[in-house]
């Protein structure tokens, strides 16, 4: 979760995809990851959070298929 938060805060979306997938594989739920993104929107900025949520949606949709 800390790695995901750090990547979002830094705007490093190129690495976020892999770390979100690993976070899910290591037991974090989609709800927990969404809450991290929403929380960071207020601290890291809405543009970074919106970029992160776009990537998260792709990861979550891929996991459902």
Q: Identify the domain containing residue 15 by its residue range.
A: 2-64
Among the residue ranges 10-14, 24-28, 31-35, 61-65, the one predicted with the least confidence is 61-65
Q: Which residue has the tokens 């830094």?
A: 10
Distance CA(55)–CA(18), nearest Å, equals 10
pLDDT band at 63 (very low <50, low <70, confident <90, very high): low
The domain spanning residue 20 has which CATH number? 1.20.1290.10
Distance CA(38)–CA(29), nearest Å, equals 14
Distance CA(40)–CA(25), nearest Å, equals 22
pLDDT tens-place string over residues 26-42: 999 999 999 999 999 99
User: Measuring CA to CA, which residue among 56, 51, 62 is closest to residue 13?
Assistant: 51
pTM reported for the whole predicted model: 0.86
When divided into structural domains, the chain yields a total of 1
For residue 28, is it left (φ>0), alpha (ψ between -120 and 50) or beta? beta
């Amino acid at each position: 979760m800390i790695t995901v938060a750090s990547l979002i805060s830094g705007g490093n979306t190129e690495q976020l995809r892999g770390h979100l997938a690993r976070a899910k594989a290591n037991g974090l739920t989609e709800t927990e990851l969404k809450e991290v993104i929403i929380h960071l929107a207020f601290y890291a900025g809405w543009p970074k959070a919106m970029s992160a949520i776009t990537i998260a949606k792709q990861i979550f949709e891929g996991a459902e298929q």
